[in-house]
Amino acid sequence: MENYLLIRMKAGFNGLKGKEISLISIVLMCATIILWSWEKTPGLTAFLPPQTPLQLSSDHLASSSSVKVLPAPDPHIHVTEHESSMPKKKIADEVEEQDLDFTSQTISAQSSSGESMGESDTGTTSDTEQILSNVPDEEEKHERILEAGKSHGVQISSSLTTSEAKSNEAKGKKNSKQKKPDLIMNTPLKSSSIIGKENWNNATENKACNYAKGKWVPDNNRPLYSGFDCKQWLSGMWACRLMQRTDFAYEKLRWQPKDCQMEEFEGSKFLRRMQDKTLAFVGDSLGRQQYQSLMCMLTGGKETNDVEDVGKEYGLVVAEGSARPSGWAYRFKNTNSTILYYWSASLCDVEPIDVNNPNTDYAMHLDRPPAFLRQFLHRFNVVVLNTGHHWNRGKLNANRWVMHVGGRPNTDRKIAVIWAAKNLTIRSVVSWVDSQLPKYPGLKVFFRTISPRHFFGGEWNTGGSCDNTKPMSVGKEILEEESSDQVAASAVKGTRVKLLDITSLSQLRDEGHISRYSLTAKPGVQDCLHWCLPGVPDTWNELLFAQI
């Protein structure tokens, strides 16, 4: 009996097992058919719920553990070595867990439109993950950097072909097993690009760096030349080492940009960069200070016979009745590099109304660039323009300048206001230069922002002073994105003329002026406009060097 029951139970079990196996087989066959049909019929995706693209703000990016937003004038996404190797699933999970708004921009290969992240077409999260996880090979990096140099920036399409997707997936698997180079997604305001770490040094030249943001730091390697020795180029009225001043701590400060490294200045490197080229400073006495500063920096403040006076080539000679020429031009023979300065305080064309009358007034053409600039622009490779402190009624009257617009005396009361006349002039000269740049592809033009004054308790002729001699700027930091010289910044906006922004960083340096130590100082009169050299204008030239 017991054997009979065991046989019946085993038979029942085997029968049940056979039914289960049959049922499972049927389910598997159905699933296989459904999956095969799904793969062969893209139209079935219409039954999926729509995917809503999510917006990822820069603030959220900054807080994400997988993406860092570099603090810079333009947004930069930096994916580190560890982060770039993270699985896609992990990145997606972290984004989902933090409830981030995520937008994947469709980066198309357009060289001119240059949409920023906030302006581009939205894609899917997987597209963005592809960009974050894909490490381009050397050839791709080189191609993108070359393309970045041709336009405002590279824009990389996130729409990949099947073969590209498989290739990238294979690269991703390979790279997950070995150390990867850092990935940097550089997304300036008007461009997008991806570059490799090994190409970073070259690419930073194209990267938009706001050199005006930063702080002054002590540096015992300063100054870059001696105020005692640079007598060949430095005017005695600006050489504070030759005056009665005894505190020279102002010489020991260096400007440190916040978001980027500034190349260390080397005179020999500057001259090699300017080989067979000409750099022209056109502006007022502050422009002359920058010119003299650069000549001292290039020679190390030492006497040299390698420099040739070529002022005659540019008509820079002492005119009859003048104490000095309207500018200077010198050429470094070894590199055939020419550095010149032309005095144009107002940065507009000025000509005598009656050439036969020694007491004639002068037409100040607000809408016409200086004749010198029009005549010699084709010979220049780098131009630095500036104006500012001569725009006051006293200067205009003393120089007998009469405002002209359209070739005739100005009758517009709105333009006759000093600040309006200055604005018109700056916009006019920038617009004219910008219109000329297509003719000279190798020409770079900078408009230097205004150098600040530090008169306290009055003006230069009413008891104004700047007695402080100790650097008070250490520890203070300039963080503003926009220039404090809005007139100049507005004028160059939308043009190919670059802004050499020195206003805010110079504003911190009230101890660096000539002050009461001028060789020709009169009681109660201080120079809180011009700078001691070596001094602040040296930094202006370092910023210039970093951008040419």
What number of other Cβ atoms are within 10 A of residue 480's Cβ? 11
pLDDT digits (tens, 9 = 90+) for 159-174: 333 443 344 344 334 4
Tell me, yes or no, whether 7 lies in a domain. no
Count of structural domains within the chain: 2
SS (H, E, C) 106-159: CCCCCCCCCCCCCCCCECCHHHHHHHHHCCCCHHHHHHHHHHHHHCCCCCCCCC
Do 137 and 227 fall within a single domain? no
Query: CA-CA distances (angstroms) from residue 498 to 17, 237, 444?
Result: 82, 31, 8
Do 266 and 305 fall within a single domain? yes
Do 295 and 390 fall within a single domain? yes
Which of 142, 169, 203 represents a domain boundary (last residue)?
203
Do 113 and 251 fall within a single domain? no
Tell me, yes or no, whether 183 lies in a domain. yes
Which of 172, 203, 234 represents a domain boundary (last residue)?
203
Do 474 and 415 fall within a single domain? yes
Smallest Cα–Cα separation from 286: which of 539, 548, 529? 529
Q: Bridge-partner residues for 308, per DSSP?
A: 331
Do 482 and 516 fall within a single domain? yes
Q: Residue 277's pLDDT is what?
A: 98
Do 394 and 479 fall within a single domain? yes
Q: Which pTM value belongs to this model?
A: 0.64
Q: Residue 207's pLDDT is what?
A: 58
Do 281 and 420 fall within a single domain? yes
> What are the residue ranges of helices labelled H in 258-329?
267-273, 285-299
Do 185 and 322 fall within a single domain? no
The arrangement of strands across the sheet holding 183-186 comes to 68-70, 76-79, 183-186, 193-196
Find all residues with CB under 8 Å of 64, minimum gap 6, and list them. 94, 95, 98, 100
Do 163 and 284 fall within a single domain? no
Tell me, yes or no, whether 318 lies in a domain. yes
Which of 170, 203, 236 represents a domain boundary (last residue)?
203
Tell me, yes or no, whether 33 lies in a domain. no
- Domain range spanning residue 181? 58-203
Tell me, yes or no, whether 188 lies in a domain. yes
List per-residue pLDDT tens for the chain, 548 residues long.
545 544 555 555 455 455 566 677 777 777 777 666 555 554 444 444 443 333 333 333 333 333 333 333 333 333 333 333 333 333 333 333 333 333 333 323 333 333 333 333 333 333 333 323 333 333 333 333 333 333 333 333 333 334 433 443 443 344 444 433 333 333 333 333 333 333 334 434 445 789 999 999 999 999 999 999 999 999 999 999 999 899 999 999 999 999 888 889 999 999 999 999 999 999 999 999 999 999 999 999 999 999 999 999 999 999 888 888 999 999 999 999 999 999 999 999 999 999 999 999 999 999 999 999 999 999 999 999 999 999 999 999 999 999 999 999 999 999 999 999 999 999 999 999 999 999 999 999 999 999 999 999 888 778 889 999 888 887 789 999 999 999 999 999 999 999 999 999 999 999 999 999 888 767 778 999 999 999 999 999 999 999 99
Do 225 and 195 fall within a single domain? no
Tell me, yes or no, whether 48 lies in a domain. no
Tell me, yes or no, whether 143 lies in a domain. yes
Return the residue matching tokens 């949409």: 115
